[in-house]
């Protein structure tokens, strides 16, 4: 059941939980430990805590809305990708009742 909701945005905590640069917060989201930190610029970033040898922490998508921190564990990129196929044609049609 947990995999069905894994790809959405999940509430972590309020931004006031990490008010100063260098503050961090450790949470578990669907069994995966996630660290949310505030860097020197004041930006909030989230990272997965994986035990990978010689590897840096894996970044997680993080968003702040209305003073709340949200993370998304989904690895897929949701940006629209340009394809090589031609643009779809549009058709205009009149309904039969007109």
Domain presence at residue 89: no
User: Which one-letter DSSP state was computed for residue 16?
Assistant: G
Question: Tokens 């840096």 correspond to what residue?
Answer: 56
In this model, does residue 31 exceed pLDDT 60? yes
Is residue 58 one of the residues assigned to a domain?
A: yes
The CATH number of the domain holding residue 60 is 2.102.10.10
The reported pLDDT for the residue numbered 83 is: 46
Segment 20-29, tens digit of pLDDT: 998 999 988 8
Confidence band, pLDDT 50/70/90 cuts, at residue 82: very low
Does residue 77 lie within any of the structural domains?
Answer: no
Average pLDDT over residues 56-77: 82
User: Which strands make up the sheet holding 68-72, listed edge to edge?
Assistant: 9-14, 68-72, 58-65, 44-48, 32-38, 24-29
Domain range enclosing 41: 19-72
Give domain status of residue 54, yes or no.
yes
- Evaluate if residue 95 carries a pLDDT over 70: no
Q: Give domain status of residue 3, yes or no.
A: no
Global confidence as pTM: 0.64
**How many domains does the chain divide into?**
1
Burial class (CB in 10 A: 0-12, 13-18, 19+), 28: exposed
Does residue 90 lie in a domain region?
Answer: no
């Amino acid at each position: 059941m947990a995999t069905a909701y894994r790809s959405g945005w999940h509430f972590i905590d309020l931004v006031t939980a990490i008010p100063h640069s260098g503050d961090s917060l450790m949470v578990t989201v669907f069994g995966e430990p996630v660290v949310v930190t505030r860097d020197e610029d004041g930006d909030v970033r989230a990272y997965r805590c994986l035990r990978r040898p010689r590897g840096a922490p894996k970044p997680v998508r993080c968003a702040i809305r209305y003073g709340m921190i949200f993370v998304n564990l989904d690895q897929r990129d949701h940006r629209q990708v340009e394809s090589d196929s031609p643009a779809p044609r549009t058709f205009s049609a009149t309904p039969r009742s007109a």
